Amino acid sequence: MNTTATTGQIPVIPLERLLTAVSDMTRWRILDELLKGEALPVLELSNRLHVPATNIGKHCAVLLELGMLRRGYGNLYSIPACFFVPGQRALDFGAVLLRLDRLDVK
Protein backbone atom coordinates (compact mmCIF):
# COMPACT_ATOMS: atom_id res chain seq x y z
CA MET A 1 0.00 0.00 0.00
CA ASN A 2 1.54 3.28 -1.11
CA THR A 3 0.71 6.02 1.39
CA THR A 4 2.34 8.94 -0.37
CA ALA A 5 0.37 11.76 -1.91
CA THR A 6 1.69 13.80 -4.79
CA THR A 7 1.90 17.49 -5.46
CA GLY A 8 2.60 17.81 -9.16
CA GLN A 9 5.52 15.47 -9.75
CA ILE A 10 7.03 15.54 -6.24
CA PRO A 11 5.77 12.91 -3.79
CA VAL A 12 4.70 14.19 -0.39
CA ILE A 13 5.80 11.68 2.22
CA PRO A 14 4.15 11.89 5.66
CA LEU A 15 6.78 13.32 8.02
CA GLU A 16 6.48 10.62 10.68
CA ARG A 17 6.92 7.83 8.09
CA LEU A 18 9.80 9.70 6.45
CA LEU A 19 11.64 10.11 9.76
CA THR A 20 11.07 6.46 10.61
CA ALA A 21 12.42 5.41 7.21
CA VAL A 22 15.61 7.45 7.52
CA SER A 23 16.21 6.46 11.14
CA ASP A 24 17.91 3.25 9.98
CA MET A 25 21.59 3.47 8.98
CA THR A 26 21.29 0.71 6.37
CA ARG A 27 18.65 2.77 4.55
CA TRP A 28 20.97 5.79 4.66
CA ARG A 29 23.71 3.66 3.11
CA ILE A 30 21.34 2.39 0.39
CA LEU A 31 20.34 5.96 -0.46
CA ASP A 32 23.99 7.04 -0.41
CA GLU A 33 24.97 4.27 -2.83
CA LEU A 34 22.08 5.02 -5.18
CA LEU A 35 22.76 8.76 -5.01
CA LYS A 36 25.82 8.06 -7.17
CA GLY A 37 23.32 7.78 -10.04
CA GLU A 38 23.59 4.10 -10.95
CA ALA A 39 20.44 1.96 -10.74
CA LEU A 40 21.28 -1.25 -8.90
CA PRO A 41 19.65 -4.60 -8.08
CA VAL A 42 19.41 -5.85 -4.49
CA LEU A 43 22.30 -8.29 -4.92
CA GLU A 44 24.70 -5.57 -6.08
CA LEU A 45 23.64 -3.29 -3.22
CA SER A 46 24.21 -6.22 -0.89
CA ASN A 47 27.72 -6.77 -2.23
CA ARG A 48 28.67 -3.10 -2.08
CA LEU A 49 27.30 -2.53 1.42
CA HIS A 50 28.30 -5.93 2.87
CA VAL A 51 24.77 -6.54 4.13
CA PRO A 52 22.74 -9.72 3.42
CA ALA A 53 20.54 -9.43 0.33
CA THR A 54 17.40 -10.33 2.33
CA ASN A 55 18.01 -7.34 4.60
CA ILE A 56 18.69 -5.03 1.65
CA GLY A 57 15.49 -6.24 -0.01
CA LYS A 58 13.42 -5.46 3.08
CA HIS A 59 14.92 -1.99 3.42
CA CYS A 60 14.41 -1.27 -0.28
CA ALA A 61 10.76 -2.34 0.06
CA VAL A 62 10.24 0.22 2.85
CA LEU A 63 11.84 3.00 0.78
CA LEU A 64 9.92 1.93 -2.33
CA GLU A 65 6.57 1.97 -0.54
CA LEU A 66 7.18 5.55 0.57
CA GLY A 67 8.19 6.64 -2.92
CA MET A 68 11.80 7.30 -1.89
CA LEU A 69 12.99 4.67 -4.39
CA ARG A 70 11.83 3.56 -7.80
CA ARG A 71 12.11 0.00 -9.12
CA GLY A 72 12.65 -0.23 -12.84
CA TYR A 73 13.23 -2.83 -15.50
CA GLY A 74 15.24 -5.77 -14.21
CA ASN A 75 14.36 -4.90 -10.61
CA LEU A 76 16.94 -2.12 -10.60
CA TYR A 77 16.46 0.37 -7.78
CA SER A 78 17.09 4.09 -8.19
CA ILE A 79 16.19 7.36 -6.51
CA PRO A 80 13.58 9.46 -8.34
CA ALA A 81 15.24 12.52 -9.89
CA CYS A 82 12.81 14.89 -8.13
CA PHE A 83 14.67 14.29 -4.83
CA PHE A 84 18.17 15.14 -6.08
CA VAL A 85 19.77 18.40 -4.92
CA PRO A 86 22.01 19.69 -7.74
CA GLY A 87 25.66 19.94 -6.76
CA GLN A 88 25.22 18.31 -3.34
CA ARG A 89 25.31 14.83 -1.84
CA ALA A 90 21.83 15.39 -0.50
CA LEU A 91 18.21 14.44 -1.10
CA ASP A 92 15.35 16.89 -0.63
CA PHE A 93 12.20 15.22 0.71
CA GLY A 94 10.38 18.49 1.34
CA ALA A 95 10.25 18.73 5.13
CA VAL A 96 13.61 16.93 5.41
CA LEU A 97 16.87 17.64 3.59
CA LEU A 98 18.93 14.46 3.95
CA ARG A 99 22.62 15.37 3.75
CA LEU A 100 24.45 12.17 2.91
CA ASP A 101 27.83 13.91 2.98
CA ARG A 102 27.68 13.51 6.78
CA LEU A 103 27.83 9.69 6.71
CA ASP A 104 31.60 9.63 7.13
CA VAL A 105 31.66 11.98 10.14
CA LYS A 106 32.30 10.13 13.39
Please name each of the domains of the chain with its CATH number: 13-101 (1.10.10.10)
**Residue in 87, 106, 97, 75 with CA at minimum distance from that of residue 31:** 97
pLDDT of residue 56: 98
Kindly state the DSSP code that residue 14 receives in the 8-state scheme. Answer: -
Q: How many residues are given for the chain?
A: 106
Residue 91 and residue 100 in contact, taking contact as beta carbons nearer than 8 Å: yes
* Of 9 and 73, the one with more pLDDT: 73
pLDDT (tens digit, 9 = 90+) per residue, 23-42?
Answer: 999 999 999 999 999 999 99
Q: pLDDT, tens digit, for every residue of 40-84?
A: 999 999 999 999 999 999 999 999 999 999 999 999 999 999 999
In this structure, which amino acid lies at residue 9? Q
Instruction: Count other C-beta atoms under 10 Å from residue 79's C-beta.
Output: 20
Is the pLDDT at 20 greater than 80? The verdict is yes
